[in-house]
Amino acid sequence: MKILIVDDERDIEDLFRQKFRKEIRNQGLELVFAFSGQEALDILGSENPPRVMYVFSDINMPGMSGLEMLSIAKEKFPQIQISMISAYGDSENYNKAMESGAKGFFTKPVDFEALRKEIGEIIAKN
């Protein structure tokens, strides 16, 4: 299963690869990284149909925000599950994310056990 992680902080790539190394090795989980909302949309649009099954995106990024990316991605690729993460657990971001079609909403620091559970549910359905 291919997962796209979207965050403007490049150091998250090492963190996610470390946290999911067992799933990458044993379950064939493939992590792909984008460092902007536009880059995420470019990756999703590069394959027809997209092989990405799940997107995990930061909300606050320079340029296109995660919420803007979410709206466009859900319109173009409604089958892809997308969850959002924010350093701020405010209800405004939560409401906007859920109204735009987000599967879930996480706050930083990432609860990797909850994220692992969500990914497991998506794998089980596919």
In CATH, what number is assigned to the domain containing residue 67?
A: 3.40.50.2300
**What mean pLDDT is predicted for residues 44-55?**
93
pLDDT at 123: 80
Local confidence band at 48 (pLDDT 50, 70, 90 cut-offs): confident
* Domain membership of residue 61 as a residue range: 2-125
> Percentage of residues in the chain with pLDDT exceeding 70?
100
Tokens of 24: 């990458």
pLDDT at 24: 92
pLDDT at 28: 85
Q: What's the total number of domains in the chain?
A: 1
**What mean pLDDT is predicted for residues 86-101?**
91
Phi and psi at 52, nearest 5°, equal: -70, 130
- 19, amino acid identity: K
